[in-house]
Structure 1
């Protein structure tokens, strides 16, 4: 597909930047973000998220700017800002509303605004459009139009990327839908799927991640049961997986900006329309409890090994929300750390992917350098970074005291057949 639209991207994080670079192959893109440091880094050709490699970034025809007036150069605006939850787990639409205000102030007749940020069904038309109309003095459906195309970025995934993931698109009316489909279809090689309405596209996004959350919660609950039964969860799943229609979910921590957040948006909207969800909040509660469960299991095993918990050093490997990314958003590793600290354990954290300044600012955690790690009674492989796995058991052994020690393998990725004799392994 081809189009004659000039594209702007508002929000240059894990979602917005890959989109900006992809569109820039076919014409100049206006890349806007309110973070001056982020813009300066991108102008210098460096992406700290590692979603775009530096060479591709440097070659991309993108005007990186914090000046909102530059958005007037474009007529197809893609809003890709975060939509988190607050401390009460309620949707926090402030970032998307601020972005709507910024775009609305620059909006022209004939423009189209497409939202990629995760929202609950109805948010685009009921909450965002009024902001665009108020700030622009224009009317949606008459002077400008809107669409919704949910982001599907999987941080750290170099196989499923912006251009080769099927793109769901929707529009305020049929004409808008076709334009949105043409614009995205010009860069997304996997094709586009035309949703019947904006609300359906919004709902599809939250359902994608809510489904995963519920399925993982089931496996996490099974892991708690099997732990009491003294059988290995991964061995059970391997056996069950020989059936053709068994779903391959595994136990673990559920953090990040998608699976750990999106279900709250659907839960919120359901309650607004008078339905009290049962499975969704129960799954969220269970998944959010896994960090505490893992820490408590580590403490129990240390006591069985004869360690004095209050005097023990525990090394936590990895603090990002998933492997091979520096993203700290909604990481549940922090629950492991806090629980251990509450029991008097000395916790040292090592993560070469994560910026130490950001970890201190966002989580209050001081990261250790590899050479400064003290020998510990227990190592918790909380995040399965490839760098950790490559170094294997020899490296893990070097981090432990010269006695019977404990390794906690949260993701169940360490090979059991080569485990050293002085190490006791526990995994979900």
Structure 2
């Protein structure tokens, strides 16, 4: 019997994966959000990860539902729900637990449950499996089996898509591991790497983004030091990058659901075991403080240019957490805005990629800025979407009244008055 696959969670991770599997298997995409299901059934994806053409191509083998009864006949369940943190930066495993309850309610003998959500080592077998056992009344590694294959989706990236990014796989028994690996190998053209255990696969995922977070924190701290010295950070990086083993990264705001969140899963588990992960936590502190640093730099520029701070009008270009992507999850641009508000500054945000922000929280979005001639006291280029890359110095100057101020967070304009 050919496998029938159910992917739980039709977000940035689950939908591209479901479409990829639907090229070879019968697939059902499950999501608790009925409006999301309706949208996908109509052949539209608001995340822009999958095109209407791609959805149309697999419409006969990919069905969408929010009804658990519709997923009973699957024999492989792949869980791709979010794993956020709470206000105390502690892991919030409730989406994972609820998804496990849903799967448990339809789980049958010989079924395999594969988790892709980013977690700390041990979550699959210590948190999810007990939920599956309790709800299904089945026994782990006797009646049903599990796997873990961490997602490696890069939102907005049309080159590194799900099929051409090498996939780590694992299983709860040697036989299950081989079967999980074979399943992913059937669609992942870049190949797979079979890890020795589920915990190893879980750990491999969480350190991918922790490493990037630490490296970016170093560059951000260096940028702050060089700014105090009056040295151009971008020029320093270009010079250092002439050495073959230098890791070339740029300073910036670190947001999104991965790099700005995943390290807290690892630090939570480390502290639970009595180890203080000082380097990782310090890196998180540095990166979380960059929004305030950019806001303070903006205020200093206003003062230096002899402009009033109170009720100054500031335009921020870009709100999503990265370029050419509508994803606003954990965007750190909001930190810039909130810190400017503390100074009594009026802030307008312009981002053509984010037509309908999921949560505006009183923020002011403007759909176009061409009519705002000589209106803004300063402009902050926060996210370098392609649509902003063509902006010339004259384009920016037309929008600014009085002395020109351009805060270039991405350090891409050679005429900016301040660069990170």
Same fold by TM (over 0.5)? yes
- Tell me if 1:187 matches 2:187: yes
Quick check: which one's helix share is greater? Answer: 1
- Kindly report which structure 2 residues correspond to 1:200-349, keeping only aligned pairs within 5 A, or say none: 200-349=200-349
Contact 1:254 1:288 in 2 (8 A): yes
Residue 257 of structure 1 aligns to a residue whose secondary structure is: coil
- Kindly report which structure 2 residues correspond to 1:49-68, keeping only aligned pairs within 5 A, or say none: 49-60=47-58, 61-68=61-68
The alpha-carbon deviation at position 357 of structure 1 amounts to 5.0
Contact 1:114 1:147 in 2 (8 A): yes
Change in Cα spacing, 1:413 to 1:65, as seen in structure 2 (3 Å) is same
Alignment gaps of 5+ in structure 2: none
Measured in 2, the distance between the counterparts of 1:233 and 1:156 equals: 27
- Which of 362, 366, 369 is 2:364 aligned to? 366
Contact 1:23 1:29 in 2 (8 A): yes
Using the size of structure 2 for normalisation, the TM-score is 0.97
Contact 2:317 2:383 in 1 (8 A): yes
The alpha-carbon deviation at position 155 of structure 1 amounts to 0.5
The worse-fitting range, judged by mean Cα deviation, of 125-134 and 51-60 is 51-60
Contact 2:241 2:247 in 1 (8 A): yes
Residue 398 of structure 1 aligns to a residue whose secondary structure is: helix
Measured in 1, the distance between the counterparts of 2:282 and 2:196 equals: 31
Measured in 2, the distance between the counterparts of 1:373 and 1:41 equals: 35
Measured in 1, the distance between the counterparts of 2:214 and 2:220 equals: 10
- Which of 15, 24, 27 is 1:26 aligned to? 24
Measured in 2, the distance between the counterparts of 1:28 and 1:13 equals: 19
What does the per-residue CA deviation read over 1:270-296, in whole Å, with 9 as the maximum and x for residues that have no partner?
011111111010000110000000110
1:409 corresponding residue in structure 2: 408
What does the per-residue CA deviation read over 1:125-144, in whole Å, with 9 as the maximum and x for residues that have no partner?
00000000001010110001
The alpha-carbon deviation at position 34 of structure 1 amounts to 0.3
What does the per-residue CA deviation read over 1:79-123, in whole Å, with 9 as the maximum and x for residues that have no partner?
000000000000000000000000000001110000000010000
Tell me the number of residue pairs that the alignment of Structure 1 and Structure 2 aligns. 416
The alpha-carbon deviation at position 373 of structure 1 amounts to 4.3
The alpha-carbon deviation at position 356 of structure 1 amounts to 2.7
What does the per-residue CA deviation read over 1:6-58, in whole Å, with 9 as the maximum and x for residues that have no partner?
11100010000000000001122110000111111111111111111111012
1:46 corresponding residue in structure 2: 44
Contact 1:11 1:33 in 2 (8 A): yes
Measured in 2, the distance between the counterparts of 1:49 and 1:392 equals: 29
The alpha-carbon deviation at position 388 of structure 1 amounts to 1.0
